[in-house]
Structure 1
Amino acid sequence: MRALTWQGRENVSVEEVPDPRVEQPTDAVVRVTSTAVCGSDLHLYGVLGMFLDAGDVLGHEAMGIVEEVGDATGDLQVGDRVVVPFTISCGRCWMCWRGLQSQCETTQVRSQDKGAALFGYTRLYGQVPGGQAQYLRVPQAHYGPVKVPDDGTPDERYLYLSDVLPTAWQGVRYADVPDGGSVVVLGLGPVGQMAARVARYQGAEVVVGVDPVPERRAMAERHGVTTLEPGRSLATAVRDLTAGRGPDSVIDAVGMEAHGSPVAELAQKGVGLLPDAVAAPLTERAATDRLAALHTAFDLVRRGGTVSISGVYGGALDPVPMMQLFDKQVALRMGQANVRRWTDDLLPLVQDSSDPLGVLDLRTHRVPLDRAPEAYSMFQRKDDGCIKVVLDPWDRPG
């Protein structure tokens, strides 16, 4: 089959790789009909290469048609149309029963002291081949795949259940925005876009999105979000919108590669040029992230408010302003999305013909899988108004 593989820093290519097969009774094989590029994929593309091997198949947002099932996949059947959550969880363990599927004790990568295995996401998370491919082996298929109607509707109506929507939904839930309250979303990439829409849907009165890219701000504004550019006047503008005290909640949807952190950016790039045997322990034990967005969140949030972190961070020695957080009595929530905890809530919303979360207004580019390297570069540079890329693993009719 054809699949997108990591070959080196900022170097990915589409190659022929072996077709996946059922290896365990709880496995299924899915023929991928749509797969998306995520902001977290850019961390692998530019920063976390020391945890990848040449030839690793990337991608963790995929959906398609079940082609083969093992003997213990429950009611999953060949021919089912499914979305595949990016976290691999069993649904039966202590963590899964408590809605912490991203900490699943069956798939935890204990050798790396990490949580549940993830598709297409480095040795740290199990080195499971990803979904930017024509076929995908799905472990724990008795629980993970979400069945969706095979009714001719576009894949994009359901595709974002794999990651973007549950991550945004959890980010807003963790933000604890009061009814009629206020929230600032930092970063209007795919997760930030959906977090802003979810916050409005769940009853926030003031929703502000912050991003330097005009096309991203324009998309958010189409969905009733007030937008601002980052800069020196940001705090004043936000206070003016929130009765002078700051927002009840701030959602950091940026993560480790925030703009405005030039020293940390140079350090990240420098470590990325080192041999893996040196770079990996440095990253795990001595790395710092670009923290401009996170520090902005701490500055903006009102006293007694909540900061919810959806953006991925990987630094072991990130400096945190504890005096400021303690003095302002800030609550922090964060973590990998517990996808299957939220999909039952989200499925009726994405099926709704009125599209209350605007899922059909997120994808800006759809390209063949063979153009994935070009898409990665475009997404990283934010060229051509690129906000969300969906890849076609197979030739589309017409």
Structure 2
Amino acid sequence: MRALTWHGKHDVRVETVDDPGIVNPRDAIIKVTSTAICGSDLHLYDHYIPTMQVGDILGHEFMGEVVEIGPKSTLKIGQRVVVPFTIACGSCYHCGKAQFSACENGMPADNQDIAREAYGQPMSGLFGYSHMTGGYSGGQAEYVRVPFSDVGPIVIPEGIEDDKVLFLSDILPTGWMAAENCDIEPGDTVAVWGCGPVGLFAVQSAFLLGAERVIAIDHFPKRLELARRFGAETIDFEESDTYEALMLMTGGIGPDAVIDAVGLEAHGLFVDNVVDQIKASTFLGTDRTHAIRQAIIACRKGGRVSMPAVYGGFVDKFPLGALMEKGLTLRTGQTHVQKYLPALLAAVLEDKIDTTFLISHRLPLEDAAEGYKLFHDQQNEATKVVLKPGLSTAT
């Protein structure tokens, strides 16, 4: 089959690789019909996430048709499914608490020591996202093996186009969980750092969960305009001091809750961010954490901090004092996708949540390397790139 493989920083290639097969009784093989490039895939593209190996198949946002099943799969051949990016067994201690991204069995035993050394304990496995998260082949391919297929995938009704439901695989539930972690109360103001895909879904979700005001922060005009489409007020951080603007907009109190949807590759010519970039380039640091620092400083006393954004390692100059002295609550983590799928699928089918607005480019799988470069270099124009295996011409 054809699949997108990783070969180093800014080097991804579509190559012919072995077809996947059934390994465990609960497996299924999916013929991929749509797969998207995620903002967190760019962390792999920039080689910020460790334990990638040459030839690894990328991609964790995908859906498709069931073409083969193991004897214990509950899926049926021919069904169309969206697959969560988190790989969870459904029956361990954490899955019993609906904490699917903390599954005890989603990570292969051979990979658990890598994550244990880095984080103290292994998390669930993730598709196409380094050997620290299981080394699983991803979905930017013609076919993919899906472990625990009786737990993860959700069946899509006939007649529903891929574009409407594809983002159930990751960014929609991630944006929803980000807003849910804010514990939004009536009358709340929520500030969202980053108007990429997760940030824009967090904006929608915050309103649906009862926020009175949402303030979106970015510097790409198109993304800020998309946030305004859903009723958000906006701050362009290149034109205004974000902290001062937030204080002015909230009467000097600060937002009730803040969401960091930026992550470890924060942009902007800020002193702390420049220092982070220097440390990363000289191997004295890993993550650029300007967004979460700023969110904590801006949040009101007694407020809530939600961090869906991806971070990979150790950081310094973290405002721990502000977090403690202001009495803030910080909630984070990979998304418990399986927990949210049924309700979010219903919301999408009832048109309560808009999903297709985000797609700016649809490309054949063969043009995946071009898609990565486009999404990386042209973030104002490329809000979301969807790859279509079998598509012969770009649209």
- The TM-score bracket by the shorter chain reads over 0.9
Partner residue, 1:358:
354
- Residue 306 of structure 1 contacts residue 331 of structure 1 at CA under 8 Å; is this kept in 2? yes
What is the one-letter code of the residue matched to 1:190?
Answer: P
Question: Tell me, what secondary structure is at the counterpart of 1:158?
Answer: helix
- Structure 2 residue identity aligned to 1:45: Y
Q: In the alignment, what sits opposite 1:187? A: 194
**SS of corresponding position for 1:172:** helix
1:230: which partner in 2? 237
Gaps of 5+ in 1: 272-285
Q: C-alpha separation between the residues in 2 aligned to 1:190 and 1:307?
A: 19
* Candidates 162, 172, 180, aligned match of 2:179: 172
Instruction: Give yes or no for contact 2:112–2:132 (8 Å, CA) kept in 1.
Output: no
Query: Matched residues in 1 for 2:61 and 2:291: separation?
Result: 25
The letter of the residue matching 1:256 is L
Paired position in structure 1 for 2:264: 256
Aligned match of 2:77? 78
Instruction: From 147, 153, 156, give the equivalent of 1:148.
Output: 156
How far is 1:6 from its partner? Answer: 0.3
The answer on whether the counterparts of 1:287 and 1:314 sit within 8 Å (CA) in structure 2 is no
Give the aligned residue type for 1:145: P
Deviation string 1:82-106 (CA, Å, 9 cap, x unpaired) is 0000000011111001011001111
1:53 aligns with 2:53: yes
Task: Give the counterpart letter for 1:164 in structure 2.
Answer: I
Deviation, structure 1 residue 319: 3.2
Q: How far 1:396 sits from its partner (Å)?
A: 6.0
Contact 1:378 1:384 in 2 (8 A): no
Task: Show structure 1 runs of 4+ deviating over 3 A.
Answer: none
Cα gap change, 1:386/1:178 in structure 2, threshold over 3 Å: closer, same or farther? same
Q: Do the aligned partners of 2:63 and 2:80 also contact (CA within 8 Å) in 1?
A: yes
Code of the aligned partner of 1:385:
E
Q: How do 1:320-331 residues align onto structure 2 when only pairs under 5 Å count?
A: 320-331=318-329
Do residues 309 (structure 1) and 307 (structure 2) align? Answer: yes
Tell me which amino acid in the other structure corresponds to 2:348.
Answer: V
**Mapped pair 1:214 → 2:221:** yes
Answer whether contact 1:89 1:107 (CA < 8 A) is retained: yes
Residue matched to 1:68: 68
Q: What is the aligned partner in structure 2 of residue 275 from structure 1?
A: none
Alignment of 1:11-160 (within 5 A): 11-48=11-48, 50-74=50-74, 76-108=75-107, 109-112=111-114, 113=116, 114-151=122-159, 153-160=160-167
- Give the counterpart of 1:203 among 201, 205, 210: 210
1:379 match: 375
2:346 corresponds to 1:348: yes
The answer to which of 173-182 and 53-62 deviates more is 173-182
The separation in 2 between residues aligned to 1:49 and 1:304, in whole angstroms, is 33
C-alpha distance in 2 between matches for 1:378 and 1:265: 22
Per-residue deviation, 1:233: 2.4
Q: Which of 274, 296, 299 is 2:297 aligned to?
A: 299
Tell me the residue number matched to 1:393.
389
2: CA distance, partners of 1:49 / 1:101: 22
Whichever residue aligns with residue 152 of structure 2, its letter is G
Q: Which residue of 2 aligns with 1:265?
A: 277
Q: What's the secondary structure of 1:197's corresponding residue? A: helix
Q: Distance between the aligned counterparts of 1:384 and 1:362, measured in 2? A: 12
Q: Counterparts of 1:379 and 1:270 in 2: how far apart (Å)?
A: 26
Give CA deviations for 1:232-251 in whole Å, capped at 9, x if unaligned: 52222212322320110000
CA contact (8 A) 1:188 1:216 kept: yes
Q: CA deviation at 1:269?
A: 3.7
SS in 1 for 2:76: coil
Contact 1:186 1:293 in 2 (8 A): yes
- Between 326-335 and 223-232, report the one with greater CA deviation: 223-232
Could you tell me the percent identity over the aligned residues? Answer: 43
Q: Any unmatched runs of 5+ in structure 2?
A: 117-121
In the TM superposition, what is the alpha-carbon distance from 1:78 to its structure 2 partner? 0.4
1:49 to partner: Cα distance: 5.8
CA distance in 2, matches of 1:101, 1:318: 29
Give the conservation status (yes or no) of the 8 Å contact 1:47–1:269: no
Q: Find the aligned partners of 2:49 and 2:281 in 1 and give their Cα distance.
A: 11
CA deviation digits over 1:284-323, x for unaligned, max 9? xx74411110111011100000110011011224432222
In structure 2, distance between residues paired with 1:299 and 1:267 = 22
8 Å contact kept, 1:13–1:373: yes
Conservation of the 8 A alpha-carbon contact between 1:289 and 1:318: no
Does the aligned pair in 2 maintain the 1:288–1:318 contact within 8 Å? Answer: no
Q: Is the 8 A contact 1:9 1:49 kept in 2?
A: no
- The size of the alignment, in residue pairs, is 380
The answer for the alignment partner of 1:282 in structure 2 is none
Query: Which residue of the partner structure matches residue 119 of structure 2?
Result: none
Shift of 1:177: 1.7
Q: Distance in 2 between matches of 1:139 and 1:339?
A: 15
**For the residues of structure 2 that align with 1:110 and 1:383, how far apart are their CA atoms?**
35
Counterpart residue type for residue 25 of structure 2: P
Normalization by structure 1: what TM-score? 0.92
Equivalent AA in structure 2 for residue 171 of structure 1: A
